[in-house]
C-alpha cells in the first residue's frame, strides 16, 4: 500500500470561538458609570463596565486559579456554579449556620436568583456563554458575587454594593470594579456620613482576605459562616456597620 494511502484525512474544521476581549474601552465604561450613578438599580451598567475593563483580569485570574492546590481540578471540571445555586433541594440541604444557609436566606428574602443575574449579563456580552476558559472564569466570578455579599457582610443597599465592588477590586484586580468604587466614593465623600471611608475599608478588607476565587465553593457553602470568615481572613465591616441602614442608599445619590 502506498504511503499516501495511509495518511488520514485532516480533521474537520472546528468552530472558531471568540475569546473574552482583553481590550480596555474607557469611554464606554465612563458613560456606563454615569448611568449607574444616576440609577444604582441599573444593574446592566455594571456588566457594561465589566465588559469594557475587566477582560485582562479575567484571563489573569484563570491562570492564577491553575496555580492553586485545587485550581487544576476546578478548572478541569469547569462546573457551572449558577446551576448549582439554582438547585433548591441542594440549597435546602445545607446546614443552619453555614455559608450556604446564609446565602439561601439572602437570595430568597430579596426574591432574586443566580440565573437572573446571568440573564442580565447576557444582555451585554454574547461571549459570556462561550465554551472558552476565560468566559467560564468570568461566569464563575459573576456567580459567586452574592456569596461574597454574605461572606463580607455587605447588604444590597447602595453603600453595601459600593463597598463590595471595592472589595472585589482588591480580590480580582478588575479595573471595572475599581471604577465603580471610585465613582461611588467620589459621590459619597461630602457630608457627615463616612461613605468614602466605608468603601476604602471594603478595599482593604478585600486585600487582607484570602483569594476567594480559588475556593471550592461547594465545600465552602457547607462550612459554618463564622468559621469560613475566620479561615478566609475576612475582617468585620466596622465602618459600614456603624452607618444606619436607612441612610446607606445615599452613598450613590442621583446626579443633579
The reported pTM is: 0.85
Taking the C-alpha atoms of residue 134 and residue 51, their distance in angstroms, rounded to an integer, is 12
At 122 the pLDDT is 75
At 85 the pLDDT is 93
Cell of 32: 456606563
| Cell 463590595 belongs to residue | 164
Is residue 181 within 8 Å of residue 162, measured between CB atoms? yes
pLDDT in tens, the chain (256 residues): 343 443 344 444 443 444 455 678 999 999 999 998 888 788 889 988 988 898 789 999 999 999 999 999 999 999 999 999 999 999 999 999 999 999 999 999 988 877 777 777 777 666 677 889 999 999 999 999 999 999 999 999 999 999 999 999 999 999 999 999 999 998 877 778 899 999 999 999 999 999 999 999 999 999 999 999 999 999 999 999 999 999 987 645 433 3
Q: How far is CA 107 from CA 40, 88, 134, 232, in A?
A: 19, 11, 27, 22
111-119: Cβ within 8 A, 24+ apart: 113/85, 113/86, 114/81, 114/82, 114/85, 114/86, 114/143, 114/146, 115/82, 115/86, 117/43, 117/82, 117/142, 117/143, 117/145, 117/146, 118/82, 118/142, 118/143
Amino acid at each position: 500500500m502506498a504511503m499516501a494511502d495511509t495518511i488520514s484525512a485532516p480533521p474537520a474544521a472546528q468552530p472558531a470561538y471568540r475569546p473574552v476581549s482583553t481590550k480596555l474601552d474607557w469611554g464606554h465604561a465612563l458613560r456606563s458609570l454615569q448611568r449607574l450613578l444616576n440609577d444604582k438599580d441599573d444593574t446592566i451598567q455594571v456588566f457594561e463596565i465589566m465588559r469594557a475593563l475587566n477582560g485582562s483580569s479575567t484571563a489573569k485570574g484563570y491562570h492564577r486559579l491553575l496555580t492553586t492546590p485545587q485550581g487544576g481540578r476546578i478548572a478541569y471540571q469547569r462546573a457551572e456554579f449558577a446551576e448549582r445555586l439554582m438547585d433548591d433541594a441542594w440549597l435546602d440541604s445545607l446546614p443552619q449556620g453555614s455559608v450556604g444557609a446564609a446565602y439561601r436566606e439572602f437570595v430568597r428574602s430579596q426574591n432574586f436568583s443566580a440565573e437572573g443575574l446571568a440573564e442580565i449579563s447576557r444582555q451585554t456580552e454574547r461571549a459570556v456563554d462561550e465554551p472558552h476558559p476565560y468566559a467560564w472564569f468570568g461566569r464563575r466570578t459573576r456567580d459567586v458575587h452574592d456569596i461574597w455579599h454574605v461572606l463580607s457582610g455587605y447588604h444590597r443597599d447602595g453603600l453595601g454594593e459600593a463597598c463590595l465592588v471595592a472589595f472585589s477590586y482588591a480580590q480580582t484586580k478588575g479595573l471595572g470594579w475599581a471604577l465603580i468604587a471610585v465613582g461611588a466614593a467620589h459621590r459619597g465623600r461630602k457630608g457627615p456620613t463616612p461613605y468614602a471611608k466605608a468603601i476604602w475599608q471594603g478595599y482593604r478588607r478585600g486585600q487582607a482576605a484570602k483569594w476567594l476565587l480559588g475556593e471550592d465553593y461547594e465545600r465552602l457553602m457547607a462550612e459554618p459562616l463564622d468559621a469560613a470568615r475566620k479561615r478566609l481572613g475576612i475582617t468585620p465591616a466596622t465602618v459600614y456597620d456603624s452607618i444606619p441602614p436607612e441612610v446607606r442608599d445615599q452613598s450613590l445619590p442621583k446626579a443633579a
